[in-house]
């Protein structure tokens, strides 16, 4: 699953992941994502940090505090590459942090690294 308020980022990630054989769900913000997660229980979630209404940190924390979804790996996406942002992502329970613009190899590497845990 890819959660990002940027249509460009969502489409880019979706295209890269589909070409690699992944089934991809997308959402524009945390609120929309939570209902999709409840209906579909994705294997892995990529979430942007800076989004309106419910940011990536809040979205990740809600996922990780729910017994049904806490085992789903969450990878934070951000254009910021600061130590504070990475640490805050870890505090709310994310497994990894990718800086935008990400590459195909970074996305697929994150899936390979964390998908075994989700399966």
Q: What is the CA radius of gyration of the chain?
A: 13
With 0-12 / 13-18 / 19 or more C-beta atoms within 10 angstroms meaning exposed / middle / buried, residue 55 is middle
pLDDT of residue 80: 82
pLDDT of residue 117: 55
Per-residue pLDDT reduced to its tens digit, 27-44: 999 999 999 999 999 999
pLDDT of residue 115: 79
Q: Answer whether 66's CB lies under 8 Å from 33's CB.
A: no
**CA 93 from centroid of its chain's CA atoms:** 12
pLDDT of residue 81: 79
Q: Answer whether 76's CB lies under 8 Å from 49's CB.
A: yes
- Which residues does the chain have with pLDDT short of 70? 116-119
* Distance (Å, whole) CA 109 – CA 107: 5
DSSP 14-56: HHHHHHTT----EESSHHHHHHHHHHH--S-EEEESS-SSS-H
pLDDT of residue 5: 96
């Amino acid at each position: 699953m890819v959660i990002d308020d940027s249509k460009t980022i969502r489409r880019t990630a979706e295209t890269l992941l589909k070409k690699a054989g992944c089934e991809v769900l997308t959402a524009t913000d945390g609120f929309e994502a939570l209902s999709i997660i409840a209906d579909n229980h994705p294997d892995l979630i990529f979430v942007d940090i800076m989004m309106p209404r419910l940011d990536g940190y809040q979205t990740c924390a809600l996922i990780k505090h729910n017994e049904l979804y806490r085992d789903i790996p969450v990878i934070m996406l951000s254009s910021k590459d600061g130590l504070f942002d990475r640490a805050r992502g870890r505090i709310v329970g994310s497994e990894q942090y990718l800086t935008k613009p990400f590459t195909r190899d970074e996305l697929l590497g994150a899936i390979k690294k964390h998908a075994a845990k989700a399966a």
